[in-house]
């Protein structure tokens, strides 16, 4: 089932993760959050992070997309949805040019990930300091699974084999 997804950072058109995350999605246009949210640049990768604290910060400007289910799995992987510090939240957004508000999913973080902080609150993300994760450190493949999972499995099997060999001695 297709979902409305609001993006405000590195998934926007022209930014580093757009092609991998939203190449197959349909863009509805520029939108703004109906409520104010804290958006800032933080973490070792200079990532844009929005926090689920409506009423704080600014009305965040971004893009609204219609995303199919398979592409949602890939987005969840890119955004680390499923890990405790990474959330998918339903918010209301409205077109910049005017029109009715729509409900959309937005990926938000918890403050635990916001160290160090590199900016104050923003309404528009246009920073270019974002550092892409290294491919060997869990980057998502086209099916939305982390390559790291298979590497971790191979590592665990190797550790288990070594442990079993030492018991046999």
Active site residues: 79
DSSP for residue 74? H
Give me the helices (H) in the chain, please: 18-22, 69-78, 147-168
CA distance 69 to 77: 13
First-to-final CA distance of the chain = 55
Q: What's the token pair of residue 38?
A: 């804290």
Query: Could you identify the residue written with the tokens 């528009």?
Result: 124
Q: Which residues contact 166 (CB under 8 A, 6 or more apart)?
A: none
CA distance 17 to 9: 9
């Amino acid at each position: 089932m297709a979902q409305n997804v609001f993006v405000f950072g590195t998934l926007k058109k022209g930014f580093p993760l757009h092609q991998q995350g939203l190449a197959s999605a349909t863009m509805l246009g520029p939108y703004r959050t109906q409520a104010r949210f804290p958006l800032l640049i933080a973490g070792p990768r200079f990532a844009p992070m929005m926090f689920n604290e409506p009423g704080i910060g600014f009305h965040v400007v971004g893009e609204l997309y219609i995303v199919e289910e398979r592409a949602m799995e890939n987005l969840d992987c890119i955004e680390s949805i499923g890990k405790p510090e990474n959330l998918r939240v339903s918010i209301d957004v409205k077109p910049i040019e005017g029109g009715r508000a729509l409900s959309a999913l937005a990926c938000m973080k918890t403050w635990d990930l916001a160290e160090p902080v590199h900016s104050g609150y923003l309404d528009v993300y246009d920073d270019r300091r974002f550092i892409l994760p290294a491919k060997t450190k869990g980057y998502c493949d086209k099916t939305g699974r982390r390559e790291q999972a298979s590497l971790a499995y191979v590592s665990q099997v190797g550790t288990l084999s070594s442990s079993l060999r030492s018991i046999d001695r």
